[in-house]
A = this chain, B = another copy of it.
Amino acid sequence: MSLARVHNFAISLDGFGTGFGQSKELHFGHAGDRLHQWMFGTQSWQRTSGSRGVDNVFVRDTDVKIGAEIMGAGKWGHPGWEDDPDWKGAWGPNPPFHTPVFVLTRHQREPIEMEGGTTFHFLDTTPAEALETARKAADGKDVRIGGGATVIRAFLAAGLIDHMHLVVVPILLGRGVRLWGEDIEGIEKDYVIESTPSPSGVTHVTFTRKA
């Protein structure tokens, strides 16, 4: 059974996964790094120090049994990346995925092979078809749905997400790209939802698909 999983997707208390005004310099717009400060305090992030508490175990679960990722064009590149033929994603020569990564976009490119096992593929297709493609590439492992908010909502609306880990950060961004939307009204009926606060101030919210 190959699951579709969302991990560490941070949203503000008012539901924004990205702030307003995304650019090459501000990947999360006016949110800056405020949605991810909780992660910077973990041992997984800092390596030699950092907390080994609840934030850390959630971060460490991110890569376990993952064989491929699907992400949106807005995560892969800033607005306008399609006009830059040299753009190879925001993560340098050795991206932290180490698996095939499928970028959902209308702007097609040849696959880009990076160091460390990451290859970017570009798909212009539905969530269901993208997941089928990614599952084949994952070779029996799970597929991570990497975001952003628009992509996760589309997969939720299509009923394709098996596990979702959100991190609710107690800030009010007011503007940006919201995870929530009318098209996912009522999906809680398909999930067990747990809420776990962390001493860091964030709250981990998990959606586990009912058996």
Number of identical protomers: 2
Known contacts A195-B203, A203-B203; decide if A174 and B184 are in contact (CB<8 Å).
yes
CB atoms of A185 and B175 under 8 A apart: yes
Q: Which of A14, A175, A186 has the most CB of B within 10 A?
A: A14
Chain B residues with CB under 8 Å of A15's CB are: 14-15, 180
A172 touches which of B174, B188, B196, B197 (Cβ 8 Å):
B188
A117 interface residue per 8 A CB criterion: no
Residues on B with C-beta less than 8 A from A13 are 180, 188, 193, 205
A170 at the B interface (CB under 8 A)? yes
Indicate if A187 sits at the interface (CB-CB under 8 A). Answer: yes
Contact with B along A1-19 (1 / 0, CB 8 A): 0000000000001110000
A71 at the interface (CB under 8 A from B): no
Task: Give Cα distance in the complex from A94 to B185, angstroms.
Answer: 36
Residue A151 at the B interface, CB < 8 A?
no
Interface flag for A173 (CB, 8 Å): yes
A88 CA / B22 CA spacing, docked (Å): 50
- Which residues 9-43 of A sit at the B interface, judged by CB distance below 8 A? 13-15
Enumerate A42-83 residues with CB–CB distance to B below 8 Å.
none
In the complex, whether A181 has a CB less than 8 A from a CB of chain B is yes
Q: Is the CB of A14 within 8 A of B172?
A: no
A182 interface contact, C-beta 8 A? yes
Whether B197 lies near A184 (C-beta < 8 A) is: no
Given contacts A197-B195, A197-B196, contact A171 B188 (CB under 8 A): yes
Nearest 4 pairs between A and B by C-beta? A174-B185, A14-B180, A170-B193, A195-B197
A171 to B203, CA, bound (A): 16
Complex interface: chain B residues within 8 A of A193 (CB): 13, 170, 201
| Residue of A13, A181, A193 with highest tally of chain B CB at under 10 A | A13
Per-residue interface assignment for chain A, residues 171 to 211, with 1 indicating a CB less than 8 Å from any chain B CB and 0 otherwise: 11111000011111111100001011100010101000000
Q: Which residue of B182, B187, B195, B197 contacts A175 across the interface (Cβ within 8 Å)?
A: B182
